[in-house]
Structure 1
Amino acid sequence: MTLQATDIIVHLGKTRVLHGIDYVAAPGAVSCIVGPNGSGKTTLLRALTGEVGYDGRVTLGGTDIKGAPPWALAERRGVLPQATALAFPFNVIEVVRLGLPYPKDAPLARHALARVGLAGYETRFYQELSGGEKQRVQLARVLAQIREPVGPEGPRWLFLDEPVSALDIAHQLQVMQIARDFADAGGGVVAVMHDLNLTAMFADAVHVLEGGRVLAEGPPGQVMTDAVLSRAYGCVLRVGAAPPAGVPFVLPHVAAEAAE
């Protein structure tokens, strides 16, 4: 059930944000979209999920998402936005249960909370949580909705928009490992990322966006080069270069090894 987008053009008001993007992601892989602010990362993700109007074609397993009923899409993919505002005083378990397709699946909500490290938070009010805790509650909601990486209809998908932006390094690694495990079990993951180190560590495929176009695509080792990243971000970047002597730096793969 490959995700494929062809010649995607998006206008926001009178401004063209995406300029004819082609995009392919496969199940069993973590596919990351990176690029500077304003490059069109979130807009592309929202086009892939049908949340923003677009010209072109997006198919999931050969099915055009424009013609698919919402309930059918909800069975096949879950979407984690950058931020979610709730006006009502829901507690945590109520928020997670919003993702459940059937009331009888209520135990899935507690399981999903445990997966994101929030077991015991069920009765806490959502509005009282930190930004990072809210982000993990919303991820739990998405995991409860999807349930398993592969269902009767085939591979299922996670669409994650900056899933680690509000998290400390331990929880960043936890969330990215959830994405990795989901893909390893046969599901598909598309994630908008700002952290290039975590992208290099977890991604199977990377699309680098610049000005609403794909500048480069492929495995991290081929795409994340000095030339590509320097052009995309508009500053001189060196991949794999240590800082000057005496300047400390921390890499996520070292933290992951220490946590094992």
Structure 2
Amino acid sequence: MSLIARGITVDLGRSRILHDIDFAAHSGAVTCIVGPNGSGKTTLLRALTGEIGYSGTVTLEGTDIAAAPPWRLAERRGVLPQATALAFPFNVIEVVRLGLTDHRDAPRAAQALARVGLQGYGTRYYQELSGGEKQRVQLARVLAQIGTPVGPEGPRWLFLDEPVSALDIGHQLQVIRIARDFARAGGGVVAVMHDLNLTAMVADSVCVLSHGRKLAHGGPAEVLTDATLSAVYRCTLRVGAAPPPGMPYILPHMAAEAADRA
């Protein structure tokens, strides 16, 4: 079961944003897309979900997404964008219920809020929340939409665009655990990420983009190397190197282990 993209090319106006990209992700795994600003990460994710036009083919579990009606895609995959603006004074539970195909399924919305640590927030107005809280509400909306990682029609998918960008380290780890649990239960996860440490923690495979081209795709240890990262980000980077004596540094994977023991 998989997501397969072949020859994805995207032009916006006179500019070519993506150049003939082949991409694959599998259910039961987390696939992360990384690269510097402007490398085409969000554009690739939007092409994979059918939100923008593209040349090439994208199939999700054998279905060509270009030929599938939007309601059918919504049953199979949920999409978390970088940011969502709401013009009307919805409260939190109303925003989460936007993801439901059956609006009588109120327990599912409440359960999704609890999964992102926002139980008790249902009656608060969305516009009054912090940026990180809004991001978690939107994740709850996507989780309510998808429900379980595997349904009668097969694996379901989460497409996440920078899902931890506005979050503190504790809530970043919470989202990482949600993604990993979803994949371990049989679903598929494709996530655009900026934090390379968190990418190394969560990813089963990593796709590296540079200037709209795929530079590397493979396991984290294979892809996240000194040479690849230094070339992509145009600065000298060393993987696994300790800082100078006396300089503190944070290990997110150790924080995750501590949280798991709590």
1:104 maps onto 2:104 in alignment: yes
Tell me how far apart the structure 1 counterparts of residues 75 and 106 of structure 2 sit (CA, whole Å): 16
Give the residue type in structure 2 aligned to 1:133: E
Tell me how far apart the structure 2 counterparts of residues 216 and 103 of structure 1 sit (CA, whole Å): 42
- Report how far residue 107 of structure 1 moved: 0.8
> Unaligned 5+ residue runs, structure 1?
none
Tell me how far apart the structure 1 counterparts of residues 115 and 143 of structure 2 sit (CA, whole Å): 9
- Report how far residue 258 of structure 1 moved: 2.2
Residue 103 of structure 1 aligns to a residue whose secondary structure is: coil
> Unaligned 5+ residue runs, structure 2?
none
Alignment of 1:161-180 (within 5 A): 161-180=161-180
Q: Deviation per CA, 1:55-82: give whole Å up to 9, x if none.
A: 0000001111000001100000000000
- Give the match for residue 70 of structure 1: 70
- Give the match for residue 242 of structure 1: 242
Q: Structure 1 stretch 29-38 or stretch 97-106: which is displaced more? A: 97-106
- Give the match for residue 5 of structure 1: 5
- Give the match for residue 205 of structure 1: 205
Q: Deviation per CA, 1:22-59: give whole Å up to 9, x if none.
A: 00000000000000000000000000000111000000
Aligned length: 260
Give the residue type in structure 2 aligned to 1:67: A
Residue 33 of structure 1 aligns to a residue whose secondary structure is: strand
Residue 93 of structure 1 aligns to a residue whose secondary structure is: helix
- Give the match for residue 184 of structure 2: 184
Tell me how far apart the structure 2 counterparts of residues 147 and 258 of structure 1 sit (CA, whole Å): 28
Structure 1 residue ranges (4+ consecutive) displaced by more than 2 angstroms after TM superposition: none
- Report how far residue 190 of structure 1 moved: 0.0
- Give the match for residue 256 of structure 2: 256
Q: Return the TM-score normalized by structure 2.
A: 0.98
Tell me how far apart the structure 2 counterparts of residues 73 and 172 of structure 1 sit (CA, whole Å): 27
- Report how far residue 104 of structure 1 moved: 2.2
Tell me how far apart the structure 2 counterparts of residues 218 and 65 of structure 1 sit (CA, whole Å): 24
1:120 maps onto 2:127 in alignment: no
1:223 maps onto 2:184 in alignment: no
Q: Deviation per CA, 1:225-248: give whole Å up to 9, x if none.
A: 000000111111000001111111
Residue 104 of structure 1 aligns to a residue whose secondary structure is: coil
Give the residue type in structure 1 aligned to 2:135: Q
Tell me how far apart the structure 2 counterparts of residues 65 and 216 of structure 1 sit (CA, whole Å): 25
Tell me how far apart the structure 2 counterparts of residues 100 and 40 of structure 1 sit (CA, whole Å): 30
1:20 maps onto 2:1 in alignment: no
Tell me how far apart the structure 2 counterparts of residues 227 and 219 of structure 1 sit (CA, whole Å): 15
Tell me how far apart the structure 2 counterparts of residues 115 and 61 of structure 1 sit (CA, whole Å): 27
Identical counterparts, % of pairs: 77
Tell me how far apart the structure 1 counterparts of residues 245 and 175 of structure 2 sit (CA, whole Å): 32
Tell me how far apart the structure 2 counterparts of residues 126 and 100 of structure 1 sit (CA, whole Å): 17
Tell me how far apart the structure 1 counterparts of residues 207 and 172 of structure 2 sit (CA, whole Å): 20
Tell me how far apart the structure 2 counterparts of residues 222 and 36 of structure 1 sit (CA, whole Å): 19
Give the residue type in structure 2 aligned to 1:157: W
Coordinate RMSD, CA, aligned: 0.6
